[in-house]
Amino acid sequence: MLKCVIHYKEDGAIPMSVGYTRKELGKLHRQFFDDRMEKSKDNEEAFQRALMSMLKAMIDVIDANNQKIDADVKALIKKKLD
């Protein structure tokens, strides 16, 4: 399972970035690569397809996390204003 790491500013209030450990990304890429290797005899094509699949999966996860963070920040701002 891919783990999300959220880096906060020193005051802990607003997330600065969302990142992933290199180990988790390596595991994800290996999984995609192995899946593609089973379907393709061309190693270079399999590697490129695995890389593209991994990038798409990362973008999807980051987008979902960004939407969650955005909703959380809006809720915190609304709570402070009330």
Q: For residues 14 and 32, what is the distance between their CA atoms, to the nearest angstrom?
A: 33
Residue 38 is predicted with a pLDDT of: 76
- Rounded Cα–Cα distance for residues 76 and 54 (Å): 33
The DSSP code for 10 is T
Q: What is the pTM of this model?
A: 0.48
CA 12 to chain centre: 21
- Residue ranges per domain, the chain? 5-81
What is the predicted pLDDT for the residue at 14?
A: 47
For 11, the 3-state DSSP assignment is coil
pLDDT digits 0-9 by tens, 52-73: 877 887 788 888 888 888 888 8
> CB of 51 within 8 A of CB of 35?
no
- Residue-by-residue pLDDT tens, the chain, 82 positions: 444 555 555 555 444 445 566 677 777 777 777 777 777 777 777 777 777 877 887 788 888 888 888 888 888 888 888 8
Region label for 12, one of left (φ > 0), alpha (ψ between -120 and 50) or beta (otherwise): left
